[in-house]
Amino acid sequence: MIEQILFILLLGVAVFLTWKRFRYIRRNIFLGRKFEASGSSRERWATMARVALGQSKMMVLWVPALMHFFIYVGFIIINIEVLEIVIDGIFGTHRIFSILGGFYDFLIGSFEILALLVLIACVVFLARRNIIRLRRFHMKEMTSWPKSDANIILFVEVTLMTAFLSMNACDLLLQNAGAAHYVQAGSFPVSSLMTPIFEGLSQENLVFTERILWWYHIIGILAFLVYVTYSKHLHIILAFPNTYYSKLVPAGQLANVPSVTREVKLMLDPSADPYAAPVAEGPPEKFGARDVTDLTWKQLLDAYTCTECGRCSSVCPANLTGKLLSPRKIMMDTRDRLEEVGNAIDNGETYEGKSLLRDYITEEELWACTSCNACTEACPVNIDPLGIIIDLRRYLIMEESKSPESITTVFNNIENNGAPWAFSPADRNNWTK
């Protein structure tokens, strides 16, 4: 009973802390402006199934795609084993699902093979980050915490899978020895190869070792449940709503500002009645975005969903040519600023002294963007860094009348000549001569 009570307390603490953190994240996301999803719900469900569930955009690079698939499937299916551990922990049973008979043998055998594949995948990913040292994992924005975060998760997964297989090896020996409480159940294709490591232990020490490994395995999973809400690995959960609400209009299509669109239409049609179209009441609209609260909630969801994989930055032409822009940094900065705003709100403090623009993201980064959309195309979970860049640019131009000289020249030419070039409209057909 002491073990059961302790387990229930640990489970309750983990669930409470996770729930509390998710409430905080949800509140932060909805600090953003209203967002209208494009496309039908059927199209959005199909996108989520293809991109989040089917991992379709991971397939561009087959090695990480295969390794990620092992971890992804392992994470989903091994949760059945976690459910069994939770039930056993609460009720003091052992291998409660053994009532499934032969199907249980199939389940445990599958779990073991998946655990081995997850173990291999994590070792490969650790090697790619720390031995091969791929460029995208070591860009300027990948400071100590982002680097450590990825390594911590991979290392913990290695130890959890090792503990799971070692636990099963001890369990198998105890089953064969007819130990009390250890029911004859399960197929152990991987852990049976590990039994020689534990064969020299007495039955009492085997039980002690099995229990220690069982507790380590479940405590590690509960700790992971809480930790993931502070980590880039939050995409495990948020990838699904993020892809559901992802952009379904043509990739290069930008969202227009309704009030500006109205004025342009009136300019293009001199006979139009300026009072025919309804004008929004209330305070004047802010053009673009200066801080996270000026972005839409979908853009803030993007920031929390970012996997920090760096695929966006690795295909960004500005980044590849040595410019300051890194689309991954745009998302990381947005999330960091949103966390700062959220903490200030919780502490009853003001957050107006700083802003996303300039304090986190510089003008130089924004104007380095070519708007090519390569970052959005490369993102495995349909995050759109370009949307945030465009909104920050809009604020600079439409609220502060500030732009680089080359762009100011284009604006002046359009205003004076009706085209981006510095030639009079009267001379426009001279090339035909």
Closest CA to 35 of 220, 302, 345, 317: 302
**Model confidence over 153-163: pLDDT tens digits?**
999 999 999 99
- CB-CB contact of 313 with 378 (8 Å): no
> What would be the CATH architecture of the domain defined by 285-416?
Orthogonal Bundle (1.10)
- β-pair partners for 357: 361
Could you give the CA distance from residue 117 to residue 113 in angstroms, rounded to a whole number?
6
**Model confidence over 190-247: pLDDT tens digits?**
999 999 999 989 999 999 999 999 999 899 999 999 999 999 999 999 999 999 999 8
**Tokens 């300051």 belong to which residue?**
324
- pLDDT for 373 equals 94
Could you give the CA distance from residue 388 to residue 316 in angstroms, rounded to a whole number?
15
Could you give the CA distance from residue 249 to residue 239 in angstroms, rounded to a whole number?
19
- CB-CB contact of 161 with 168 (8 Å): no
∠71-73-79 over CA atoms, to 5°? Answer: 95
3-state helix, strand, coil in the chain (%, to 5): 70, 0, 30
Q: How many CB atoms within 10 Å of residue 266?
A: 15
pLDDT by residue, tens only, the chain of 433 residues: 788 999 999 999 999 999 999 999 999 999 999 998 988 999 999 999 999 999 999 888 888 899 999 988 887 887 888 898 899 899 888 888 888 888 989 989 999 999 999 999 999 999 999 999 999 999 999 988 888 998 999 999 999 999 999 999 999 999 998 888 888 888 999 999 999 999 989 999 999 999 999 999 899 999 999 999 999 999 999 999 999 999 888 877 888 887 788 888 887 787 877 776 666 666 667 899 999 999 999 999 999 999 999 999 999 999 999 999 999 999 999 999 999 999 999 999 999 999 999 999 999 999 999 999 999 999 999 999 999 999 999 999 999 999 999 899 998 998 888 888 888 888 888 888 8
Q: What does the block give as tokens for 106?
A: 């199939």
The length of the chain in residues reads 433
